[in-house]
Structure 1
């Protein structure tokens, strides 16, 4: 009876029902946090005119990987903390395969909520824990092949279900140092086997909920990891590559954007500096940046922002924003080397800023970042660049960044292989 009445009402008022559903849908996509994801090939690479598609696009992507001139690059996996997962994506009793440092690893959340990282392959007969494995006994992982159980905390085998004899001493799986902080899960890597040399600072406003999750973006970038944070010291590129606001019709595509216009209609005006925080915290570099926008040369009100970006090692940046009237917030930028020349870059924002402003900010920030992706994805690394006085402290940044490499840091060889594989500090 109720369904019949509902059906008759819909038939009698189709326009009203359609309009209501449309309004609800628009409200949904407008109010929910931004989630912008760009995979390799979506942005930053040129596929010809007319643009190739389908299998030809895939072939061109492989050709670009092989033929691109990379230059004399530093080692590909610097020492430091790397984000491997966002906290809300890993539930209790869940196993997840992650890609980092050129290999698959297994991420585990125990029944009590703790996180652990292990190598993915069972030392018994090589089965992959991530494909069919189970979390058991709170913080143990059970192999899907024969049911062997390993402690995710120590890596040691604690049970062979079909054998009551003594468990072999060598029956253990390598574990990796990890920590969960600021709604992200991080892995520690050091090529000499050194344990964590600094801690990731906790942001109280994120932990206590003062700043709410405001959106995220994610990009796959084909470049060396050092190219990305080096932008913080490259002050000169801000007022050229990022001078004009991204046109709505062209977005981030620098091939179709006139970057030479001396006076864009909508312009970003940047002023910044980069420096090492202190000798005691030499793993931290700091960028101070102020920005506002102009319309036909006149400063737009309520567009000014101030940024303090703290670079913590090679893979983490805490960007604290002050938007004045609009509020404050932080963006966690993480760069994770999944392969020697493939970086996964995530931006996650927490703030007390109104939803409409923060969504606009994140969208514009993503498009400006994608302009850099066009450059990074196609450039060659120059060990000795030709610099002029106003380029910014690029060489100073490179000297600072070099502290994250040692003799054992893996290098990419001419044939594309690695000089040595990255391994856990617990595997020395």
Structure 2
């Protein structure tokens, strides 16, 4: 294995091993899952070790139902670079017997891994933003799982527009995800009478000083300054916007992709009032609270976000498909395994009920939240107030509009 790879193995779930021994016949040919994630870069808080833990929890839960199926897990840091991600994916598939890769939270890297999975006829379950993964770049070997730029634009963008925020300026990370997020939000705005006054792009990764970009945004006179970024970039840009007092004249700040780890780092005093969209919130219902308690016990009290629970949900559904079709058939064809995943309805503790659509888009509800004020919060991680739930069939781009070549006209 390469030097950037951290490896851990879970045979049918570490917690279940002691109670239910595995049959040796199956232990010789395990299903192998690779968590390809961002361990130290801009998306480490949204994925990283949290994605590894969430995947492990899915393996544990699967083992309770299927203790005779052996599952191994490896993990690696793809350094937010598409070439590194593609190289690791190829090595895992060709040399290390990995059957499914999950996570890949950077859009350009996910597009690269999707290509590798199709070339090797393996499975990729991907958690970046770009909606191209279920559009022009769709394939029979991958599924776009947790969220996408269309669902963010259709919820956060539309909500702010409805409140009078009809002129926008984008501060955009200059890579595939940022471009996709701006394009999808622009379509929503212009379809409902909004205007985009401009976009400024910054280098990704590596930008930490957003002052010049914020001043350009302020100078545009837009009612809404929208950040088309995520992870540490989202946190830094929101913090610096607060330091520049950009909202003093009534300007709204829109976090088009901002998850709960960023709110935790920013603090409610700065983030209060922000509208944001996630597919998951730890305090949404009894099932999400129970899962989050297990997760937090392994993550020093931290709560998971949409990307991390996407690894739990995607892994669990993949393993259900493996159980339904048999290990040998699942290992023989990634495309057949994805087809089985599309046949089976999805149902888990974090996203509830849903399905995998023909174009590889995972369908589940999305939730629009507003960040609480310090006075409204009851303590650490009590940060969101639910504004509305957007049903899955309405939250994601219509099947006919995506341009996926697998979709019949």
Q: TM-score band, normalised by the shorter chain?
A: under 0.3
Point out the structure with the larger helix share: 2
Higher relative contact order (CA 8 A, sep 6+): 1
From the CA coordinates, give the structure whose radius of gyration is larger.
1
TM-score (norm 2): 0.27
